[in-house]
Structure 1
Amino acid sequence: MKTNILGLPVKETEATVKELNTLLSNFQVYYQNLRGIHWNIRGKRFFDLHVKFEELYNDSQLKIDLIAERVLTLGGTPLHTFEDYIAHNQLTVGKNVSNDEKAIHLIVSSLSSVLKIERTILDHAGAINDEGTNSMMSDFIAEQEKTIWMMQAWLEE
């Protein structure tokens, strides 16, 4: 079996890069959703939610960079055009969301979809002993599961 400079199997690593680019694309859409709800949120919870949404989009921006850098580390090229992002997107695009509950539901559904992509990557990375990708996915998953729990707790008030 042919391996790359990292000792990972070439063919399987190329598949991981493709999956990471799908994740990257979906994170870019998630990021834009967060920016939109941050800008457009209205109502009595504006101040709290405006700050929370900024926290979430700043976090997603960091994750976007980590994903792109992992693609590069594995020898791939990160997707970087809106055309690519839309072509690989699996998330609902939130347009003009200003209602607090709709915004939170958008976050929960987006993260739920992102988790599915991350778990697929986790499975494939684990199968080829790609600990760098595995570790990153594990960290992302733990954080996002907690965010979903908190958002669902907010929705139940």
Structure 2
Amino acid sequence: MQLNSLGLDVKKTENLVKDLNNLLANFQLYYQNLRGIHWNIRGKRFFDLHPKFEELYNDSQEKIDLIAERVLTLGGTPLHTFEDYIKAGKVPVGKNVHQDEAAVTLVVDSLTELLKIERVILDESADAGDEGTNAMMSDFITEQEKTVWMMKAWLDEKI
């Protein structure tokens, strides 16, 4: 087994970089969804949802940077084109979403996809002994599970 300068298995690290880039691409799509629903939300819940969506897109922007920097830390190159993002995309794309329930459902559906990707990375990073990636995924998952719960509660739906 060949180790890199971080003491991690080179092959396992390459796989993590691939999956982190997949997460990065999907986070970029999620971010664009959040910008769109922030800009386009209308109706009686505007004053509640408009700032909430801004909070979520600011948070996702920070996470995007953390993911890209982790890719670099592991020796990879972060994806950075819309072509790459769309090719890797699993997160649903919301276009012209302005109705409150549709917007919140888009957030839940997007986070559900991100959580699937993050859980795969969590397992892989644990197997690789990559505590940095593992801790980041654990933090993301904990926070996003709570957001899904809150959004589902807002929708009056169970988890």
**What range is the shorter-chain TM-score in?**
over 0.9
SS of 2:77's equivalent? coil
In structure 1, distance between residues paired with 2:66 and 2:116: 18
Q: How does 1:111-122 map to 2 (within 5 A)?
A: 111-122=111-122
Runs of 4+ residues deviating >3 angstroms = none
TM-score of the superposed pair, with normalisation by structure 2: 0.98
Letter paired with 1:133: T
RMSD, aligned CA: 0.7
Q: How does 1:101-120 map to 2 (within 5 A)?
A: 101-120=101-120
TM-score of the superposed pair, with normalisation by structure 1: 0.99
2:68 matches 1:68: yes
- Deviation string, structure 1 residues 94-131 (Cα, Å, up to 9, x no partner): 00000000000000000000000000000000001000
- Deviation string, structure 1 residues 18-48 (Cα, Å, up to 9, x no partner): 0000000000000000000000000001011
Letter paired with 2:122: L
- Deviation string, structure 1 residues 47-66 (Cα, Å, up to 9, x no partner): 11000000000000000000
SS of 1:156's equivalent? coil
SS of 2:13's equivalent? helix
**Aligned pair count?**
157
Q: Which sections of structure 2, spanning at least 5 residues, go unmatched?
A: none
Counterpart for residue 96 of structure 1: 96
Letter paired with 2:59: D
SS of 1:6's equivalent? coil
Q: How does 1:1-157 map to 2 (within 5 A)?
A: 1-156=1-156
- Deviation string, structure 1 residues 61-92 (Cα, Å, up to 9, x no partner): 00000000000000000000000000000011
Deviation of residue 16 (structure 1)?
Answer: 0.2
